[in-house]
Amino acid sequence: MFFLFQQQIQLTEEKQEFNKRPIKAVPCSLARSISQSSIDSHSSVGSASSEDENSPRNKVQKTSKGVSDFCIKNIKQADFGRREICIAEQEMPALMVLRKKVGGEKPLAGAKVIGCTHITAQTAVLMETLSVLGAQCRWAACNIFSTQNAVAAALAEGGTAVFAWKGESEDDFWWCIDRCIGAEIWEPNVVLDDGGDLTHWLYKKYPTLFKNIRGIVEESVTGVYRLYQLSKAGKLCVPAMNVNDSVTKQKFDTLYCCKELILDGLKRTTDMMFGGKQVLVCGYGEVGKGCCAALKALGAVVYVTEVDPICALQACMDGFRVIQLSEVVQHVDVVITCTGNKHVVAREHLDRMKNGCIVCNMGHSNTEIDLASLRTEELRWERVRPQVDHIVWPDGRRIVLLAEGRLLNLSCSTVPPFVLSVTATTQALALIELYNAPEGRYKRDVYLLPKKMDEYVASLHLPGFEAHLTELTDEQTKYLGIGKHGPFKPNYYR
């Protein structure tokens, strides 16, 4: 199970990086239209699971209730998968609160949801929440490697029509999506997609289904990009909700997660002690702010590079020396990139680093460190541990490169359940909003979740902290000129 999870992480990362690639990477013919993200980990995961080779497509399995409308690896793993889901439920209290709060109202009664996401314990909690809220669900995997087979078994046993297993072939992938849509036996009316493959398949094979579909909820950067392209081209047939850019997700995903994951990623890969280490953080945006705060708190001496004077001034006021990379690169013990920029750490910098300097990336792509410049003959690469390479200069000097310059937080750490919870809750609310919105509220365009729902997502996470909100009095709402239940801030406020 742990192994599976590790894989999922890696996949997620690859996908994000993919999303940064230029447009031409988007496939054009059907045969090649499986998204890059769906298979991206193929080469990097050498130790592919070697369970039995009998394809699930050839097996007939039944749940304990005799249902067989699903296709997974092995229904017998359901108990084990259920335990994983139970654990995940504890990590995602917001969805559990949502079940309690609006479960009675069944806001998704009548909803026929088709979904295409990673299939893990956490997404299982989302699917089963949708069911509690009244929806019927059919589900496929958005990645051929990331499915947790036991979880899929538990979902099937629990009544979700799930079509997914770890290690699908490309043909399997589309077959599963097709079965998930289930056009012969029902008509979906809402779509929850992560990566755009399901949406793509609908467009290609079942365009007529869109007349009954009230909207698409899309989670990934790639998928959102595709939707905006469709919208721009006037080809978007239904409203779509961009969940990726909701305030709550962005705010917590960047600052708070990076703050914790930088420590975790460095520790798991290098066992380094933070106290007294000189660390250079390139970029003082949200990611950089999180990294700097955590490292400072643990006793590192942190330097910052910035191109934007406003962020630079913030770094100063927060107690960090703002310098140019070349000024300190020969002294520091660790270099971390968080810029979203390209070739921030270039060969000339790497040439001057001291022996044992650790180099890693927390930014938005794997371009921040100029890796190509290190793929030269005179340098020797040694893989010393998983995700850890030593690059050895002719004079014996070693640079420690983590995750080959890919995202440290995703490659060498674990996405915290809290973030998954925020995302899943936002997806659920987006679905409810799209499904229940009165005719005309949403056009054939891409929307952000309304501020008020963002606030609601946040409010659902407060009980997990035993946090108690204060309610405005009538006098106060009048004084402030806002509603008693929000939105409390303007839409642009972040």
- Binding a second copy (rule: CB under 8 A), the pick from 26, 102, 298, 379 is 298
Stretch that binds a second copy, among 25-33, 197-205, 210-218, 411-419 (CB under 8 A): 411-419
Q: How many residues does the chain have?
A: 494
Stretch that binds a second copy, among 110-118, 152-160, 189-197, 260-268 (CB under 8 A): 260-268
| Cβ nearer to a second copy, comparing 164 with 350 | 350
Mark residues 154-193: x for contact with a second copy by CB under 8 A, - for none: ----------------------------------------
CB 28 → a second copy: shortest distance, Å? 24
Sheet of strand 446-448, all strands in order from the earlier edge strand to the far edge:
161-163, 136-141, 112-117, 190-193, 216-218, 240-242, 446-448
Stretch that binds a second copy, among 54-62, 205-213, 214-222, 382-390 (CB under 8 A): 382-390
CB 152 → a second copy: shortest distance, Å? 19
- Binding a second copy (rule: CB under 8 A), the pick from 232, 297, 372, 445 is 297
The answer to whether 45 contacts a second copy (rule: CB under 8 A) is: no
212 labeled part of a ligand binding site: no
| Cβ nearer to a second copy, comparing 381 with 488 | 488
Residue 140 and residue 226: Cα distance in Å, rounded? 19
The answer to whether 476 contacts a second copy (rule: CB under 8 A) is: yes
Rounded (10°) angle between helices 309-317 and 286-297 = 20
The answer to whether 273 contacts a second copy (rule: CB under 8 A) is: yes
- Residue 419: count of CB within 10 angstroms of its CB: 17
The answer to whether 395 contacts a second copy (rule: CB under 8 A) is: no
CB 8 → a second copy: shortest distance, Å? 13
Stretch that binds a second copy, among 108-116, 158-166, 184-192, 483-491 (CB under 8 A): 483-491
**Which token pair is 459?**
């409010």
- Contacts of residue 168, defined as CB under 8 A and 6 or more positions apart, other chains included, come to 141, 144, 147, 176
286 labeled part of a ligand binding site: yes
| Cβ nearer to a second copy, comparing 131 with 425 | 425
**Which token pair is 229?**
């392209």
Residue 124 and residue 88: Cα distance in Å, rounded? 9
Cα-flanking dihedrals φ and ψ of residue 371, to 5°?
Answer: -70, -35
The answer to whether 355 contacts a second copy (rule: CB under 8 A) is: yes
| Cβ nearer to a second copy, comparing 205 with 296 | 296
249 labeled part of a ligand binding site: yes
396 labeled part of a ligand binding site: no
| Cβ nearer to a second copy, comparing 57 with 251 | 251
Residue 488 and residue 486: Cα distance in Å, rounded? 4
Give the interface size with a second copy as a residue count (CB under 8 A).
Answer: 97
Within 65-84, the residues that bind a second copy by CB under 8 A are: 83
132 labeled part of a ligand binding site: no
Q: Using the CB atoms, write b or e for 461-482: b if 16+ within 10 Å.
A: beebeeeeeeebeeeeeeeeee
Q: Which amino acid is located at 141 in the chain? A: A
115 labeled part of a ligand binding site: no
275 labeled part of a ligand binding site: no
| Cβ nearer to a second copy, comparing 321 with 375 | 321
The answer to whether 274 contacts a second copy (rule: CB under 8 A) is: yes
Mark residues 130-149: x for contact with a second copy by CB under 8 A, - for none: --------------------
Stretch that binds a second copy, among 53-61, 109-117, 201-209, 449-457 (CB under 8 A): 449-457
- Contacts of residue 171, defined as CB under 8 A and 6 or more positions apart, other chains included, come to none
| Cβ nearer to a second copy, comparing 20 with 57 | 20
The answer to whether 465 contacts a second copy (rule: CB under 8 A) is: yes
The answer to whether 305 contacts a second copy (rule: CB under 8 A) is: yes
Within 314-343, the residues that bind a second copy by CB under 8 A are: 314-325, 327, 331, 340-343
The answer to whether 492 contacts a second copy (rule: CB under 8 A) is: yes
CB 169 → a second copy: shortest distance, Å? 31
- Binding a second copy (rule: CB under 8 A), the pick from 134, 159, 356, 450 is 356
The answer to whether 18 contacts a second copy (rule: CB under 8 A) is: no
| Cβ nearer to a second copy, comparing 179 with 349 | 349
Binding-site residues for substrate, in ranges, read 120, 194, 219, 249, 253
Binding-site residues, in ranges, read 120, 194, 219, 249, 253, 285-290, 306, 409
Binding-site residues for NAD(+), in ranges, read 285-290, 306, 409
